[in-house]
Chains A and B, each alone.
Chain A
Amino acid sequence: MSEFTRPKNAEELGNNFKQIKPLMNATMAYYESSRCLFCYDAPCVQACPTAIDIPLFIRQINTGNVKGAAKTIYDSNYFANTCGKVCPTEVLCEGACVYNHQDVKPIEIGRLQSYASTYVLTKDEPLYQPGQGNGKKVAIIGAGPAGISAACDLRLSGYDVDVYEAKSHPSGLVIYGVAPYKITNQEALDEVEYLQKQFNFNIFYNSPISGEAEFKKLEANYQAIFIGIGLGNTSALRIGGEDLLHCAGATEFIERIKIDPFNTHIGDKVVVIGGGNTAMDAASEAARMGAPEVYLAYRRAKDQKGAYEFEYDLAKAVGVKGLFNVSPVQILGKDKVTGIRFIRTKQEGNKLIPIEGSEFDFLCDMVIKATGQSKLKDFLNQIGGIDLNLNGTIKVNDQFQTTNPKYFASGDAVNGGKEVVNAVAEAKIAAKGIHEFLSAQA
């Protein structure tokens, strides 16, 4: 039997999706912060894409200056609370902690960060006020981590900022894509609300920008435009049976769970196709939603999967089983999924070779494709002069300015799909770029 039963109410859902990095209490934070060695030129800072002064904020927590600690974090990263919870700290700051060299548990930097940020969030303690208005306006497309971070920095520099968001909530994938055991939707929303209150930018929800006319209007009304649109839906596998009932994309499946968990279809035997972090999340979440059997199917060997080891461990811990060196050939079923036909593969040098005659049918009643999100080429093609890279990401210079100088871009749409912290880091550079670009024009 599966470890989890299908959650019927919010309480059961909460139990199935217990936070893996729960909030520390004051004593835990004090003890944990006491352990920090205050390294010189600390490796944790070097490992953080937003270069948060981690030893400083930990020391501030230890001396009871928790608000000061939060300020240290927010100065480098506006998604302080979110990143403390959703960052893959195991491979970033905590992975770089020198205690690892001593086989001592690294400092729980992520949880300490959330401890400090939660302090200001729950007390509603403001840390910033917008800069003196400079009369210039910037439009931001997408209220995800990139867009909101850019909005905050631009407000500090005195710009009027309007954020246009296609969906009904801010935070992008933090709300719609991050596994619920990493952060709750409420926590994600609270952080954006906290920022919006201080920086006082506008967010227009349910306001997708589409059509050349709308872009022309934006260009007429704003001196610069920031694109933080992320990625699109799950890419097609281009095999038969993808349109069968109960064959879903991972991004869409996870979004459904986060928005409408009690009406999300969960199969009895679920196969998740893919070997990345999203595949691990989708498999883990299917199991926590009560699927009795969940399999990960990856076309390469186990050690070649893209997912972080700790993400794989999380999936394994809830009973997910792995199938490796299997490539889907056909999704089986008449109107709904009844199985997948796989072919076994082997690695020869850099090439993955299907083994002829090794096809086999694997019965299941749900397939989740976690094989990457598509790039929003059609959307971007509506804007004149924006070049894309071969892989469909937006081409930018080192200030994250696109080939159309009025447009800057950051986040998944540029980096092809990375962490929240990368989006924040890039957006801060882009905001600086916009400021320099517009200052030079005046």
Chain B
Amino acid sequence: MPNLASNLAGIKSPNPFWLASAPPTNSGYQVMKAFDAGWGGAVWKTLGVPIINTSSRYGSVNYKSNRMIGLNNIELITDRPLKDNLREIEEVKKYFPNHAVIASLMVETREEWHQIIKDCENAGADGLELNFGCPHGMCERGMGSAVGQEPSVLETITGWVKEVATVPVIVKLTPNITDITEPALAAVKGGADAISLINTIQSIVGVDLDNFVPFPNVDGKSTNGGYCGPAVKPIALNMVKNCALEPGMTIPISGIGGIETWRDAVEHIVLGATNVQVCTAVMHYGFGIVREMITGLEDYMVSKGFETMDQLIGRALNQVKTWENLNLKYKVVADINTEKCIECQLCYTACEDGAHQAIGLPENGKRIPYIIEENCVGCNLCSLVCPVEECITMVRKDDASKHETWKDYLNNDKAPTSFNDDRAGGVGHWIPDPKSALKKK
């Protein structure tokens, strides 16, 4: 059996699956239940001066019959007194000494930071996570993402924390920023032991079109919330990758954002995360989903011959390049498996209206489309809209003998440089006569 044990900057846990600081870690009851279900660690719901929440706090993005592919929330940090939280942290650690309990913190002054760190360490917290990410409510008060968006402030506060902290310190970053590596590097400079990302994305999930109030509705008014759930995973993966590839990043990453299955977790890990944190999926399906995540990860590691988590971390990074380093001589075209085709013609209309008019329909009334290879640019769109697995595949057509990138093109004077340059990539591509569009359905 592979060993799932995880170590993030010295914080050890039996597996890499942590609960993120959020409603599922609001109480000792929930964290105990989660550990009992199999979670390896939990970042406690952010502690600080307790707040007062609104009633009506979440809004959801549903896609067709799938509920909550995205969730936003306007809930703030803990609304419970610090002493209650600390007592429960202590109790959880008594029952689960080998599980990771991390105290998420958000306070204002240096004195407050020093005090709360001592209290949390006394309660037995294995680590601290500084919440510089929350993009709603708290940021209006100069905390949360307001800190994460100001690298110098982030660095200063991290420094305050490191003055007293004896356990590892994780800085949680907000994605509501142009370049995620700037606050990441500031965390390194401030002395952080790890970073975690992403926190939620500032969002409006929708508007009630009967009364024109965005969701969630708080007595006829609303505010922007923090967006999370499966829909944000691509944004999170990219930011994790950006941090992991940043040369100055000398500390490990805890990956957060859209993780619901073992696959999502492994994607975060191979792009550079040491462990992962989960919230929305638990809010949707409960703590029990971790059973699927653990067995899925184990089975995957067995099938690929991995024995420890270290072997997985950053495994995909070498395959991520800047665009200018991609091989422009690589050529794929679509291939339709006529045995599998169900004749929906979604590929036809997608290519016809949304791509390069490289799919034709038979004249004889039959419905299976065909690829017009000379028009196909190998964009993948048809294979993505096709509802049948493995029906449309992309087949390599070049002989793999040439490797020339945009960078090479620039160096060898092969790149177009003026508006009507005949070295443009589209020169020679067949484009239908505009007027012929009018006769079509």
**Contact surface of A with B, Cβ cutoff 8 Å:** 30-31, 34-35, 37-41, 43, 62, 98-99, 101-102
Contacts and interface: CB of A to CB of B under 8 A. Distances in A.
Interface stretch (B70-78, B274-282, B337-345, B398-406): B337-345
Nearest to B441: A41
A40 B349 contact: yes
A39 B441 contact: no
Name, among A37, A62, A99, the residue most crowded by chain B CB atoms within 10 Å (CB to CB). A37
Contacts, number: 36
Name, among A30, A31, A35, A102, the residue most crowded by chain B CB atoms within 10 Å (CB to CB). A102
B420 interface: no
Interface string B408-441: 0000000000000000000000000000000001
A319 B122 CA distance: 76
Interface in B325-353: 341-346, 348-349
Q: Which 10 A-B pairs have the closest CB atoms?
A: A34-B64, A34-B65, A40-B345, A101-B342, A40-B349, A39-B344, A98-B342, A31-B65, A98-B344, A102-B342
B344 A40 contact: yes
B55 to A, nearest CB: 26
B342 A99 contact: yes
B142 interface: no
Nearest to A37: B344
Contacts of B441: 41
Contacts of B348: 40
A112 to B, nearest CB: 13
Contact of B345 (A34, A35, A41): A41
Interface in B131-162: none
Contacts of B66: 34
B367 interface: yes
Contacts of A38: 346
A43 to B, nearest CB: 7
B345 A39 contact: yes
Contact of B343 (A34, A35, A101): A101
A411 to B, nearest CB: 29
15 contacts: A30-B65, A34-B64, A35-B65, A38-B346, A39-B344, A39-B345, A40-B346, A40-B348, A41-B345, A41-B367, A41-B441, A43-B343, A101-B341, A102-B387, A102-B388
Nearest to B343: A98
Interface string B298-314: 00000000000000000
A43 B388 contact: no
B64 A62 contact: yes
Contacts of A98: 342-344
Nearest to B342: A101
Contacts of A62: 64
Contact of A37 (B341, B367, B387): B387
Interface string B360-382: 01000001000000000000000
A30 B346 CA distance: 21
Contacts of B344: 37, 39-40, 98
Nearest to A104: B342
Name, among B341, B345, B348, B388, the residue most crowded by chain A CB atoms within 10 Å (CB to CB). B345
Contacts of B342: 98-99, 101-102
Contact of B367 (A30, A34, A35, A43): A43
Contacts of A39: 343-346
A69 to B, nearest CB: 15
A197 B346 CA distance: 41
A31 B63 CA distance: 11
Given A39-B346, A102-B387, 18 more contacts: A30-B65, A31-B65, A34-B64, A35-B65, A37-B344, A38-B346, A39-B343, A40-B346, A40-B348, A41-B345, A41-B441, A43-B367, A62-B64, A98-B342, A99-B342, A101-B341, A101-B342, A102-B342
A214 B397 CA distance: 78
Name, among B65, B341, B343, B344, the residue most crowded by chain A CB atoms within 10 Å (CB to CB). B344
Contacts of A99: 342
Nearest to B387: A37
A379 to B, nearest CB: 41
A160 B349 CA distance: 44
Nearest to A35: B65
Contacts of B345: 39-41
Interface string B253-294: 000000000000000000000000000000000000000000
Contacts of A35: 65
A4 to B, nearest CB: 36
A38 to B, nearest CB: 7
Contacts of B346: 37-40
B357 to A, nearest CB: 14
B285 to A, nearest CB: 18
B91 to A, nearest CB: 42
A43 B341 CA distance: 14
A39 B64 CA distance: 16
Contacts of A43: 343, 367
A267 B268 CA distance: 72
A39 B350 CA distance: 11
A39 B368 CA distance: 12
Contacts of A102: 342, 387-388
A39 B388 CA distance: 13
Nearest to A36: B64
B46 to A, nearest CB: 36
A38 B361 CA distance: 17
Contacts of A40: 344-346, 348-349
Contacts of B349: 40
A43 B346 CA distance: 12
A242 B221 CA distance: 77
A30 B367 CA distance: 28
Nearest to A41: B345
B419 to A, nearest CB: 36
Nearest to B386: A37
Contacts of B341: 101
A60 to B, nearest CB: 14
B389 to A, nearest CB: 10
A66 B66 CA distance: 20
B348 to A, nearest CB: 6
A35 B387 CA distance: 11
Nearest to B361: A41
Interface string B36-69: 0000000000000000000000000000111000
